[in-house]
């Protein structure tokens, strides 16, 4: 099914419509919301297909030091889930064709109110939601609520998951399935086994779904992007983007735009 938007809500199954697609993660509010907005617009214009709008959280256990520092900076300036939803609305207005996914831990959403979150995310033009610590076994009510508001539910699939669990994850996912390239935390410091374990994981997932499969964790170079594109539908780049923001104060949007164009054209 093609991507179809009605009142800025995706009613199709796919958020990734070209191969290889590029999913870019940004910690919203790092170093401030104005900069995040500029970075996200630059990323879309440079070739990002989907933006994961990261909600800063005080205890990001699944993230490495780069994203942990970004969350700390964002929280220091008071960034909240409400701010992220407002930012999503602004991005949707300015770049109506981009895929927008709220990427969060469960705690901020529970504190905000799950029903309120679903309603406001839809109103903001968000396409989907990925709650990194929402397990498939506990997701029935969450899935029903998100789907009632036209929001795709995206789940993580790990190399250690048996086929029976991958099947449940694939059946519960909409938009795309996020394949974790390795166990452990996010970051560019650990090399994923893209030609071995990750490729096998993607092939296992594809036995159970026709959705696009995006590979994330440790994807940081044009070589990684090309390699992932040989067997998956998209690559997720997160820590490398966040690090680019951290290392280029005052020039964050420009640096991210250059980096994404280089990824797309294979020159880094």
Give the chain's domains with CATH numbers. 19-263 (3.20.20.70)
DSSP class of residue 78 equals T
Residue 125 vs residues 7, 23, 219: alpha-carbon distances, Å: 8, 17, 28
- What is the C-alpha separation between 197 and 129, in angstroms, rounded? 26
Catalytic residues: 52, 63
Residue carrying the six token digits 């993230």: 63
Measured distance between the N- and C-terminal CA atoms of the chain, rounded to whole angstroms:
34
pLDDT by residue for the chain (268 residues), tens digit each?
233 333 333 434 678 888 799 999 999 999 999 999 999 999 999 999 999 999 999 988 878 899 999 999 999 999 999 999 999 999 999 999 999 999 999 999 999 999 999 999 999 999 999 999 999 999 999 999 999 999 999 999 999 999 999 999 999 999 999 999 865 445 444 555 677 899 999 999 999 999 999 999 889 999 999 999 999 999 999 999 999 999 999 999 999 999 999 999 875 5
- Residues 83, 104: contact at Cβ < 8 Å? no
- What is the C-alpha separation between 30 and 73, in angstroms, rounded? 6
- pTM greater than 0.75 (yes/no): yes
Share of the chain above pLDDT 70, in %: 90
DSSP class of residue 62 equals T
* Neighbour-count burial for 80-105, b at 16+ CB within 10 Å, e otherwise: bbebbbebbbebbeebeebbbbbbbb
Any idea what the Cα angle at residue 37 is, between residues 185 and 2, rounded to 5°?
75
187 backbone φψ class: left, alpha, beta (φ>0; ψ -120 to 50): left
Strand partners, 26: 53
- As given in the structure block, the two tokens for residue 112 are 């905000």
- What is the C-alpha separation between 47 and 75, in angstroms, rounded? 28
- What is the C-alpha separation between 115 and 123, in angstroms, rounded? 12
Any idea what the Cα angle at residue 49 is, between residues 46 and 51, rounded to 5°?
95
- As given in the structure block, the two tokens for residue 179 are 């394949």
DSSP class of residue 25 equals E
109 backbone φψ class: left, alpha, beta (φ>0; ψ -120 to 50): alpha
């Amino acid at each position: 099914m093609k991507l179809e938007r009605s009142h800025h809500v995706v009613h199709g199954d796919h958020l990734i419509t070209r191969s290889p697609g590029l999913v870019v993660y940004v910690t919203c509010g790092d170093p401030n919301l104005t900069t995040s907005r500029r970075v996200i617009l630059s990323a879309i214009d440079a070739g990002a297909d989907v933006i994961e709008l990261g909600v800063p959280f005080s205890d990001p256990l699944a993230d490495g030091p780069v994203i942990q520092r970004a969350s700390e900076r964002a929280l220091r300036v008071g960034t909240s889930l409400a701010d992220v939803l407002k930012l999503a609305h602004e991005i949707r207005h300015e770049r109506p064709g981009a895929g927008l996914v709220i990427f969060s831990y469960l705690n901020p959403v529970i504190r905000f109110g799950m029903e309120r979150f679903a309603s406001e995310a839809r109103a903001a033009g968000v396409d989907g939601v990925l709650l990194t610590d929402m397990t498939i076994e506990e997701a029935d009510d969450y899935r029903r609520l998100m789907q009632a508001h036209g929001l795709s539910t995206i789940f993580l699939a790990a190399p250690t998951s048996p086929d029976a669990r991958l099947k449940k994850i694939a059946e519960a996912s909409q938009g795309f399935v996020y394949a974790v390239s390795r166990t452990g935390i996010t970051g560019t410091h650990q090399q994923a086994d893209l030609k071995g374990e990750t490729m096998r994981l993607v092939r296992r997932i594809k036995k159970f779904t026709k959705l696009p499969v995006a590979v994330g964790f440790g994807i940081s170079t044009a070589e990684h992007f090309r390699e992932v594109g040989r067997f998956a539908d998209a690559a997720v780049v997160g820590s490398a983007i966040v690090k680019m923001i951290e290392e280029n104060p005052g020039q964050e949007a420009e640096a991210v735009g250059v980096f994404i164009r280089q990824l797309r054209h294979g020159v880094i």
